[in-house]
Amino acid sequence: MNKKEMFMSALKNEKPIKWMGYGFDAFTKTMYHCIMDPISIWDIIFIEGENVLDHWGVNHRFIPGKDPGIIPMVNEQNQVIKDITHWRDYVTFPEIPDDLDWDSVRAQIAEVDRDNEIIMLATFRGLFERAHCLMTFEDTLINMYEEPEAMNELFEAYTDWKLKVAKLLCDNLSFDVIQSHDDWGSKTSMFFSVDKFRELLKPHYKRLYDYYHERGIIVMHHCDCYAAELAPEMVDLGVDIWEGVLPSNDIPKVQKATGGKMLLMGGLDQGLIDQADVTEEAVRAEVRRAIDEYAPGGAFLPCIGSIECLNAWVTPIVIDECNRYGEEWLKKYQQQNA
């Protein structure tokens, strides 16, 4: 099997396990293993500077080399939505330009060996993350509980906009996986209850992910936080891959709860290994721990939760050890299951 076939075998949770290695090994060797589409570039990737307004009127900061990513700088004074019950008076859904540069992205895709490599696009600012860009984080959570009807209307309208994006991506580009970003918790707890997720987020994500499936696209949900209680919900709404699953989620328990129906990618304690003073052996030891603990449960591939380490030199060590030890682990597994 080539790398793409090995990944697809893991995605299908084929038994016996046929491959264990770095989760993104079959994906393009671009930054974050994604090909950046023109809508993402226009909507968010363009942001760089101390105070930058996006097309939604949200203030952001991104200082390369200093910030881990693009950070919404939202407070009571500059938040877009002042009153959630009148959100339509504040929110203007930006029109996606007709003159985006699709050709250069198509040319990039055309250079990929599709028989051996997987093409992934990313879609940023999921439903919850968009809400806490338009409002303060505190107001977003309060409104989900005190004004659920208005929040549901906002999520529905935003999902309609995301569906327009999805159609444009599928109509204009040939790709295999959509990586959808939305964090629903901290490292150790969720931001809201399972019931609140079912009420306000799940129905809209179901619409969005059903559309991608109808277009033949694999859905990867990037959620590098604690969200263990939502794992069965993710399966229900059609998530094929939960990427960024942290050890704090009790991964063996999640594996049992999802029954191998959703590939779990992650498992590494990035807070432990993504440090300037970490030793190479400590990085490799963490990789071996993750494989030993989670690989036997199936539907698992190790990778960095945030896809790239802030300390860039750590990433290639992780990849090397995932593949080196993954192969060693697989041989032992195959001998035991012969």
153-172 residue pLDDT tens: 999 999 999 999 999 999 99
pLDDT band at 212 (very low <50, low <70, confident <90, very high): very high
Q: What is the pLDDT of residues 47-94, one digit of tens each?
A: 999 999 999 999 999 998 888 889 999 999 999 999 999 999 999 999
Which whole-number Å values give the CA distances from 78 to 51, 59, 73, 75, 133, in the listed order? 12, 8, 9, 6, 10
pLDDT band at 118 (very low <50, low <70, confident <90, very high): very high
Residue 325 has pLDDT above 80, yes or no: yes
Q: How far is CA 100 from the centre of its chain?
A: 24
Q: What is the pLDDT of residues 57-66, one digit of tens each?
A: 999 999 988 8
pLDDT at 68: 86
Residue 115 has pLDDT above 80, yes or no: yes
Q: Is 214 exposed, middle or buried (0-12, 13-18, 19+ CB in 10 A)?
A: exposed
Name the strand (E) or helix (H) holding 180: strand 177-181
Name the strand (E) or helix (H) holding 40: helix 38-40
Q: Is 14 exposed, middle or buried (0-12, 13-18, 19+ CB in 10 A)?
A: middle
Residue 41 has pLDDT above 80, yes or no: yes
Residue 311 has pLDDT above 80, yes or no: yes
Mean pLDDT of 242-246: 98
Distance CA 273, CA 289 (A): 12
Q: Is 98 exposed, middle or buried (0-12, 13-18, 19+ CB in 10 A)?
A: exposed
Share of the chain above pLDDT 70, in %: 100
pLDDT at 336: 87
pLDDT at 167: 98
Strands 59-62 and 49-53: antiparallel
Q: What is the pLDDT of residues 285-299, one digit of tens each?
A: 999 999 999 999 999
Which whole-number Å values give the CA distances from 152 to 141, 144, 148, 157, in the listed order? 13, 8, 6, 9
Residue 338 has pLDDT above 80, yes or no: no
pLDDT at 305: 92
pLDDT band at 337 (very low <50, low <70, confident <90, very high): confident
pLDDT at 93: 98
Farthest-apart Cα atoms in the chain, separation: 65
pLDDT band at 215 (very low <50, low <70, confident <90, very high): very high
Distance CA 306, CA 64 (A): 16
Share of the chain above pLDDT 90, in %: 97
Which domains, and CATH codes, for the chain? Answer: 3-336 (3.20.20.210)
DSSP 8-state class, residue 41: I
